[in-house]
Amino acid sequence: MPKEYLTLEKISAYQMAFTFSNDIWKAVLAWDYFAKDTVGKQLVRAVDSISANIAEGFGRYSKKDKVRFYRISMGSLEEVADWIKKSKARELISSHDSNEYLQTLDGLRKEIYNLINYTNEKLKY
């Protein structure tokens, strides 16, 4: 039986972050020009950074390097939470959408922590 290797697409934190970034992208597309140009660009860049840093970390060789990028993705996650709160306060998104997005971030935060713990436990170097 051939040995099965872990791929990026099998990492739930990456899957969640990738899907969430596309959901945010679709929401921001509906905003007017000023909102897109100010808050929207920042929000999309931050949310795209979550999955991008997970992907970059996955491609690194050493445990320390992998975990460093996973932690950077956590910082981007916190930035996204801030932009979502600002979007709600500026009436760009509804309270309902804000709550759903923040709940998604809570789940994603747990997945990234699990990824960091898994990496620290399973890799030697």
At residue 13, does pLDDT exceed 90?
yes
CATH architecture of 32-122: Up-down Bundle (1.20)
pLDDT in tens, 18-48: 999 999 999 999 999 999 999 999 999 999 9
| Per-domain boundaries in the chain | 32-122
CA distances for 64 relative to 50, 116, 119, angstroms: 18, 10, 9
pTM: 0.94
Q: For residue 68, is pLDDT > 90?
A: yes
pLDDT category of residue 1 using cuts at 50, 70 and 90:
confident
Mean pLDDT across the chain, nearest whole number?
97
How many CB atoms lie under 10 A from the CB of residue 88?
Answer: 18
